[in-house]
A and B are shown apart, each in its own frame.
Chain A
């Protein structure tokens, strides 16, 4: 594997990251705007991507903006908001075909860079604020989206588990906002908030692909003028007293029950046991060779999917599974037995080594994907850690069976959430 190198520069408070690689036929440009997750502003942040994607000063309606993207060979524009632990991150991504693979083109990348700048800094305005019409329309769009989470049972069960488990923590704030906040958001208020985002968020810009770094650096200098004064919101860690596990049962008219269990690991990126936790997760429920997959699915035929996933910003671990409503107690019991087996070190050195090898492969595979590269490099910023992909691989390679057992013993159940049918509850 050839190591990816990141060339960093700072200009007017904005951090640029150029990552050249010949792996792709397109160039990905990604802008990240980060601030603390805040219940008072989250709905506005969630609404911004909807409004910003519609129009800019030079492309005052969706049709003209789409035409501009079509001219760039159907460049893919995506703006989204996500929760990263206690932060909220807005991501603007533009993926454009690389000139190198096209006849008759020589400046697609430069034009795309210019367009991305325009989308961020020159949104379409009327009388100095966002268009009322667009904002009202997109409020209803966001509202529909918020309501329809009810139709995606897996996403709904995840959301409800976190609602209960992290009730008094910042992490329980919904990244897509709240329906009840929408009526009060005016075009003027949203525009004012957006000015604050541009001025105060931590802004990082990534460009990866078969690029000429020096050339793009010069372009960045020409294009990006505005000053940002990032406020570098650093969040205090919230501590939650350990308690005996809660069980929450909700019913709906459904065929398959969703059993979601929330554990706390108290291990985050900077923790010395971070690497061991990743190995633990792979062996417990992350890989198809895991205890959960083997026991719940292969041996007992209770589920089609059962898996565990770590949340590394907060130190959480989730187990989720789709089961017949009447097998709730049996499945829950088997899952807890597997956790117990991990605590007691009922796994071999060979299994530990296999999980480590798979995790290391996973890191390398991530670096074969442009968005994977950006996310992996950005992760380090979010945590203020200077860990390179090579160091990440080295860290995983050092994990021992004892480390995995120790980290398992520190993982404890917080909340069991079951979404089931009316009959299943009885």
Chain B
């Protein structure tokens, strides 16, 4: 087991790779009561075309299947795994994103036993025709819940504006039609391919002993056999740097219109260095320009174009990346055009040492805050680990950024062809 000390942060991390390929990251924090564990597979909604384990041909599976699979793993032949965790004092949960599916629990009791339960339930699937059918009603209500949320509609609408082909544009949950087509056999195909231990990372932070925990995990895995691992072939259609659509307007029964600007940040597979650079700089720059008191925020605020609903975020993944800026506003066209104007100005901006010094301070404070809770430590460690990046080292990376480097990134950041506007008008 490899140990890394982060003296300044007062943290220690233990890392091991099991014979079956599973990656394990442990961060003991005995000052806490709770333990949080997350078991994550490098598989999400975008993986709709791939070569199944042991086969040669690419298959295409129905949209929403990664999320459907996440729901169904909790159900076993004789019981629901939720109750196993609850009776051991743990609260389980799971989520599916564009690129990952994760199973997790938090507990103050029986940490080791709950880790066994977590590994066992994810590694022992049981799907039946009957239970697959029953789940469709539940997921249909989950889909319709989002139908009524204008913010979500703006988010996915903007992604569809940006990406013409990349499957980030499909609905994570699927639609009533696509989930209706999902069969037990589809679930097993996806499961066998993407839930191989060599495609998974287990990350645990909280109150436990690292040696004891490592033993529990090793013993658990040693008792199971898996097929030989293969490199998974994931296929993505070609995607250009240009947005699919510069502008789109939809109508919904909302109280206030809404405009969203999308920046198509990347559209092809990027490496570790570029990932780290984009992840840090996109965050820092959006924060600098658009957070309260920032120069672009001020202009929009002074013009009376934005209110409290104004928000922005950036997403960096291996095969795609985007930033989103959105607000409720009376005149969506004027506000959206203004935001695009401001973004295009960044090409001619030059930040000073003082600007960069403050940007870095703010970013470092944010990362430290994310290190307050075992939940976010474990999730972030796992998230970055898939890109071979150490979450705890991000502070050092941010500190090492020079003004020159920031300006270099800034001046090539925004290109007109990569911007889109999505508007929601009142019905």
Genuine A/B complex:
yes
Q: Which of A1-35 contact B (CB under 8 A)?
A: 1-2, 21-26
The reply on A167 being an interface residue by CB < 8 A is no
Given contacts A140-B307, A147-B255, A287-B86, is CB(A255)–CB(B364) below 8 Å?
no
Q: Number of B residues whose C-beta is below 8 Å from A?
A: 66
The reply on A97 being an interface residue by CB < 8 A is yes
The contact of B148 among A61, A74, A97, A255, by CB within 8 Å, is A255
The reply on B273 being an interface residue by CB < 8 A is no
Contact B33 A74 (CB under 8 A): no
Contact A151 B142 (CB under 8 A): no
Given contacts A70-B358, A141-B308, is CB(A289)–CB(B293) below 8 Å?
no
Question: Which partner residue on chain A sits nearest B107 by CB separation?
Answer: A361
The reply on B411 being an interface residue by CB < 8 A is no
Task: Give the complex CA separation of A100 and B371 in angstroms.
Answer: 14
Contact B427 A253 (CB under 8 A): yes
Q: Which of A335-391 contact B (CB under 8 A)?
A: 354, 357-358, 361, 364-365, 367-370
The reply on B286 being an interface residue by CB < 8 A is no
The reply on A198 being an interface residue by CB < 8 A is no
The contact of A255 among B9, B33, B89, B147, by CB within 8 Å, is B147
Inter-chain contacts of B371 with A (CB < 8 A): 25
Inter-chain contacts of B361 with A (CB < 8 A): 70-71, 73-74
1/0 contact trace for B351-374 toward A, CB 8 Å?
A: 000000011011111101101111
Contact B33 A1 (CB under 8 A): yes
Given contacts A151-B254, A302-B137, A304-B145, is CB(A144)–CB(B309) below 8 Å?
yes
Task: Give the complex CA separation of A255 and B145 in angstroms.
Answer: 7
Contact A364 B255 (CB under 8 A): no
Contact B307 A73 (CB under 8 A): no
Inter-chain contacts of A395 with B (CB < 8 A): none
Inter-chain contacts of B427 with A (CB < 8 A): 253
Given contacts A26-B369, A150-B255, A304-B142, is CB(A101)–CB(B10) below 8 Å?
yes
1/0 contact trace for A234-248 toward B, CB 8 Å?
A: 000000000000000
The reply on A63 being an interface residue by CB < 8 A is yes
Given contacts A66-B294, A255-B144, is CB(A97)–CB(B328) below 8 Å?
no
Task: Give the complex CA separation of A298 and B74 in angstroms.
Answer: 11
Contact B148 A256 (CB under 8 A): yes
1/0 contact trace for A56-97 toward B, CB 8 Å?
A: 000001111111001111111000000000000000000111
Would you give the shortest CB distance from B403 to chain A, in whole angstroms?
16
Inter-chain contacts of A144 with B (CB < 8 A): 256, 307-309, 328
The contact of A102 among B147, B364, B374, by CB within 8 Å, is B364
Given contacts A75-B365, A101-B368, is CB(A368)–CB(B141) below 8 Å?
no
1/0 contact trace for A117-133 toward B, CB 8 Å?
A: 00000000000000000
The reply on B91 being an interface residue by CB < 8 A is yes
Inter-chain contacts of A71 with B (CB < 8 A): 358, 361
Contact B308 A145 (CB under 8 A): yes
Total number of residue pairs linking A and B with CB closer than 8 Å: 174
Would you give the shortest CB distance from B131 to chain A, in whole angstroms?
10
Contact A364 B108 (CB under 8 A): yes
Question: Which partner residue on chain A sits nearest B329 by CB separation?
Answer: A144
Most buried by B among A145, A150, A256, A369: A256
The reply on B298 being an interface residue by CB < 8 A is yes
Would you give the shortest CB distance from A333 to chain B, in whole angstroms?
17
Given contacts A101-B368, A289-B83, is CB(A148)–CB(B145) below 8 Å?
no
Q: Number of A residues whose C-beta is below 8 Å from B?
A: 71
Contact A66 B309 (CB under 8 A): no
The reply on A285 being an interface residue by CB < 8 A is no
Contact B86 A368 (CB under 8 A): no
The reply on A262 being an interface residue by CB < 8 A is no
Contact B368 A97 (CB under 8 A): yes
Inter-chain contacts of B293 with A (CB < 8 A): 61-67
Contact A289 B82 (CB under 8 A): yes
Contact A101 B307 (CB under 8 A): no
Contact A365 B33 (CB under 8 A): yes
Contact B364 A73 (CB under 8 A): yes
Given contacts A65-B293, A71-B358, A141-B307, is CB(A25)–CB(B139) below 8 Å?
no
Given contacts A297-B138, A358-B91, is CB(A367)–CB(B369) below 8 Å?
no
Given contacts A25-B9, A148-B256, A255-B147, is CB(A364)–CB(B365) below 8 Å?
no
Task: Give the complex CA separation of A73 and B139 in angstroms.
Answer: 42
Would you give the shortest CB distance from A86 to chain B, in whole angstroms?
27
* 8 more A-B residue pairs beyond the given contacts A98-B368, A151-B255, with a C-beta to C-beta distance below 8 A: A22-B31, A26-B368, A63-B293, A73-B368, A101-B9, A101-B10, A357-B89, A361-B91
A-B contact pairs, 15 of them (CB 8 A): A23-B372, A26-B372, A62-B301, A73-B365, A144-B328, A150-B254, A288-B92, A301-B135, A304-B138, A304-B145, A354-B87, A357-B109, A358-B89, A361-B107, A365-B106
**Chain B residues close to A by CB (< 8 Å):** 8-10, 31-34, 80, 82-83, 86-87, 89-92, 106-109, 134-142, 144-145, 147-151, 253-256, 291-294, 298, 301, 304, 307-309, 328, 358-359, 361-366, 368-369, 371-374, 427
